[in-house]
């Protein structure tokens, strides 16, 4: 899920400083008749709008907290996993092995609700940045852009 958030954030960042984006509203052309340049210009304009509406500070702070939490959990799992592995390797400690494994599973489940809440907040930030945009039109334009193998402006 994080990769989708990062992709959306990267897209908005890429579109944040286009030199040739449309600056005034023009009548919308049917997507089926648009050229690559027209699609690029409209998508850049949409990207600039998304970028201006995106809570980048919240997005980055939440992402940092998620990365720190994931790293902390990884370190804990490695150290606990080593201990469980040693316990389970000693003959006659089957009950201790089972208890240690259950404790490890319990610790792994801790924080899942908070992680889901963080993901929901991130998704909400990205969704909020798309307020006022015709997402169906943008998706249709993206599909046509790929079908026509249009170059992406740098």
pLDDT of 31-85, one tens digit each?
999 999 999 999 999 999 999 999 989 889 999 988 988 888 777 776 666 566 6
Please tell me the predicted confidence (pLDDT) of residue 3.
Answer: 47
- In angstroms, the CA 49 to CA 132 distance is 9
Average pLDDT, the chain: 78
When pLDDT is averaged across residues 122-149 and rounded to a whole number, the result is: 93
């Amino acid at each position: 899920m994080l990769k989708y958030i990062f992709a959306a954030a990267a897209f908005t960042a890429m579109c944040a400083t286009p030199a040739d984006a449309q600056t005034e509203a023009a009548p919308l052309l049917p997507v089926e008749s648009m050229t690559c340049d027209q699609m690029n210009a409209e998508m850049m304009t949409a990207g600039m709008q998304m970028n201006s509406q995106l809570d980048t500070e919240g997005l980055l702070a939440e992402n940092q907290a998620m990365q720190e939490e994931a790293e902390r959990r990884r370190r804990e799992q490695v150290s606990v996993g080593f201990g469980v592995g040693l316990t389970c390797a000693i003959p006659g400690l089957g009950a201790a092995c089972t208890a240690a494994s259950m404790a490890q599973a319990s610790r792994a489940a801790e924080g899942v609700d908070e992680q889901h809440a963080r993901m929901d907040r991130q998704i909400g930030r990205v969704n909020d940045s798309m307020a006022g945009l015709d997402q169906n039109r943008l998706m249709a334009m993206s599909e046509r852009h790929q079908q026509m193998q249009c170059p992406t402006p740098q």
